[in-house]
Amino acid sequence: MNYVIIGSGVAGIAAIEAIRSIDSASSITLIGDDPYGFYSRPGLAYYLTGELHDKALFPRTAEDLRKLNFFYLRGQATKILRAGHILELDTQSTVSYGRLLIAVGAQALPLEVPGADLEGVLKLDHMSDAKLILKHARRGKSAVVVGGGITALELAEGLLSRGMRVHYLLRGDRYWSNVLDEHESRIIEHRLQEEGVTLHHHAEVIEVTGGHAKVSAVRLLNGQLLKCDLLAYAIGIRPRVGLAKQAGLAIDRGILVNEYLQTNDPDVFAAGDVAQAYDPMSGRSILDSLWTPARQQGFTAGLNMAGEKTAYLKAPPFNVTRLAGLTTTIIGTVGRGRDDDLVGIARGDSETWRQLPDSIVAQTGFEVNRLRLLVGEKTLLGAIVMGDQKLSFPLEKMITNNMDISPIRERLLAPNARIGDIVAEYWAGVNTRH
Ligand SMILES: Cc1cc2nc3c(=O)[nH]c(=O)nc-3n(C[C@H](O)[C@H](O)[C@H](O)COP(=O)(O)OP(=O)(O)OC[C@H]3O[C@@H](n4cnc5c(N)ncnc54)[C@H](O)[C@@H]3O)c2cc1C
């Protein structure tokens, strides 16, 4: 068998590791267009703030990769000719495949306002974007950030830590309104302001203006002109479905794959941010933009490409992130509705988080250490843990394993319940029984 993988991100590399775990002899070719190869994209946020050196972002050494014994072709796959099992590259060369994996990730949605093509209007997808942001930050004094979710905050904090004055613009009346509740949004906004970010609510950019082809200000819907040397945006992402579409593969919001990560062509697989994977548990096909699911999908796809029949069983999406310096863990389903600052999902985000069925909220803490539980009939459906993280591990296990919370449900929902203590006690009991 001759395997070809498009995309040198975590899904692509995990697929190679999986193939090599059962097939040491076949040829594997990796095609990647990123000059920096395989690195941690979530780590780019810490590179922006200066907490991590770029050299710390590479999860595999050159030696690790050499041991996987694959050919690496630097270039962009431009066309899949499925009938002949051939791939065309922008380098004018062609590559033939027996089984193909599309693991090309997702890209930032463009900011569609006049002037968005000016120099200094920047997004954060790749290492090269992060380097460009730092280059502009060194030259400028004042920045505007627009968008929602995790990446927008990472941009604001990265630019602030590089000494820029930062204006963060929200179209709605609070931050990340379809994942966080009102209190959580306010905690984050308050911290951002304390860090020195100037927050603008109900602020929408309608035009970017500039001179000598460079951004110099943004015009807002209310007529205000905000001067800036840089405009960074994170308004959501879109899976790179172009190759699959041209090849006639089934797509929806991402490339549609079954639980074996196989497209409607049995020799073509897709995994990671580009894939909209079928979840046999919920019966839905869902987009995630999360590192761990991308790695798991890539690995499962690799096993199946090499002849196994292993289903990808989606765990409730889980992310430990930092929002305005506050460690925040998001597990399962936690919100719903619309967020004016995001079009679809963002980086480090999952569609599942917003598919909240009927549930009752139990919450505690209105300051830094906050805990919110989404309580279903017999199980916990989701949780947000801000600040103190000692309950994130038990909660992740309770939600992932659908543990029966009937013995504590009523106590959790009682007024002023100390839900943290109740969960801790329950968890201690579970551990004693096992
Ligand atoms: C700033 C930022 C913050 C994030 N924060 C978090 C977080 O807090 N938690 C979390 O879990 N996840 C986070 N993520 C998301 C996480 O990084 C992604 O889910 C993960 O990287 C997806 O892996 P992938 O392999 O599917 O795609 P990618 O990592 O996007 O890799 C795809 C690769 O394919 C290449 N490619 C595209 N088209 C072609 C082509 N035609 N030919 C050849 N190569 C091609 C791309 O250049 C890229 O190198 C963040 C991402 C970013 C950028």
Quick one: three-class SS letters along 297-338?
HHHHHHHHHCCCCCCCCCCCCEEEEEECCEEEEEEECCCCCC
Residue type, 242: G
In this prediction, residues 101-125 reach a mean pLDDT of: 97
What confidence score (pLDDT) does residue 134 get? Answer: 97
99 and 116 fall within a common domain: no
Distance 347 CA to ligand 1 centre (A): 9
Distance between Cα 105 and ligand 1 center (Å): 5
Q: Which residues line ligand 1 (CB under 6 A)?
A: 6-12, 31-34, 41-42, 44-45, 76-77, 103-105, 124-125, 150-151, 154, 240, 243, 272-273, 289-292, 294, 319, 321, 347-348
Residue 273 alpha carbon to ligand 1 centre in Å: 7
Domain count, the chain: 3
Alpha carbon dihedral 369, 375, 380, 384, in 10-degree steps, equals: -30
| 156 within some domain | yes
151 and 70 both lie in a single domain: no
pLDDT one-digit tens code per residue, 343-371: 888 898 888 888 776 678 887 876 678 99
Do the domain assignments include residue 313? no
Whether residue 291 is contained in a domain is answered as: yes
* 398 φ/ψ sector (left φ>0, alpha ψ -120 to 50, else beta): alpha
Task: Give pLDDT, residue 422.
Answer: 95
Between CA 220 and CA 209 the distance in angstroms is 11
Is pLDDT larger for residue 416 or for residue 124?
A: 124
Tell how far the Cα of 106 is from the centroid of ligand 1, in angstroms.
6
In contact, 203 and 113? CB cutoff 8 Å:
no
Q: Which two tokens stand for residue 109?
A: 């949605």
Do 138 and 230 fall into the same domain? yes
Where does a domain end: 195, 217, 235?
235
Q: Indicate if 375 and 400 belong to the same structural domain.
A: yes
pLDDT in tens, 266-320: 999 999 999 999 988 788 899 999 999 999 999 999 999 999 999 999 888 889 9
Q: Does residue 310 lie in a domain region?
A: no
In a domain, 364, yes or no: yes
Q: Please report, for residues 108, 352, 380, the alpha-carbon distance to residue 318 in angstroms, rounded to integers and kept in the order given.
A: 21, 10, 14
CA 188 to each of CA 176, 177, 323, 337, 421: distance values in angstroms, whole numbers, following the listed order: 10, 12, 7, 19, 24
Q: Which two tokens stand for residue 165?
A: 């004055």
Tokens of 287: 């987009």
Is residue 24 domain-shared with residue 48, that is, in the same domain? yes
Reply yes or no on whether the pLDDT at 379 is more than 70: yes
Q: Which CATH number fits the domain that encloses residue 169?
A: 3.50.50.60
Write down the pLDDT at residue 363.
Answer: 79
Shared domain for 50 and 84, answered yes or no, is yes
CB count in 10 Å sphere of residue 28: 23
Residue range 418-432: mean pLDDT, rounded: 91
Ligand 1 centre distance from Cα of residue 348 (Å): 10
Q: Which residues make Cβ contacts (< 8 Å) with residue 266, sequence separation at least 6?
A: none
Q: Give alpha helix (H) positions in 341-413.
A: 392-400, 406-413
Atom of ligand 1 nearest to the CA of 14: 25
311 is a domain residue = no
Amino acid at 106: A
Domain termination residue (choose one: 235, 270, 292): 235
Residue 312 maps to a domain: no
Query: From CA 420, how far away is CA 354, in angstroms rounded?
Result: 23
Q: What is the pLDDT of residue 434?
A: 66
Q: How far apart are CA 180 and CA 187, in angstroms?
A: 10
Pocket probe mutation, ligand 1, options 41, 319, 331, 351, max atoms within 8 Å of Cβ: 41
Average pLDDT over residues 105-115: 97
Same-domain pairing of 268 and 409: no
Domain termination site, one of 305, 331, 350: 305
Are residues 187 and 74 both part of a single domain?
A: no
Q: Is a pLDDT exceeding 80 seen at residue 166?
A: yes
Clarify whether residues 49 and 80 are in a common domain: yes
Contacts for 337 with CB less than 8 Å, ≥ 6 apart: 177, 178, 354
List of E strands, 49-136: 71-74, 77-81, 86-89, 94-96, 99-102, 106-108, 121-122
Phi and psi torsions of 276, nearest 5°: -110, 95
Amino acid in the structure at residue 170? L
Q: How far apart are the C-alpha atoms of 395 and 361, rounded to whole Å?
A: 15
pLDDT per residue as tens digits for the range 182-194: 999 999 999 999 9
115 and 260 belong to one structural domain: no
275, 239 Cβ separation under 8 angstroms: yes
* 7 CA to centre of ligand 1 in angstroms: 9
Residue 362 belongs to domain spanning:
318-433
398: domain CATH number? Answer: 3.30.390.30
Same domain, yes or no: 212 and 242: no
Residue at 189 is within a domain? yes
In the three-class reduction of DSSP (H, G, I as helix; E, B as strand; rest coil), residue 262 is classed as strand
- What burial letters (b/e) apply to 338-368, b meaning 16+ CB within 10 Å? ebbbbebbbbbbbbbbbbbeebeebbbbeee
* Same domain, yes or no: 206 and 242: no
Whether the per-residue pLDDT at 36 is higher than 70: the answer is yes
Spatial separation of the C-alpha atoms in residues 299 and 348, rounded to whole Å: 19
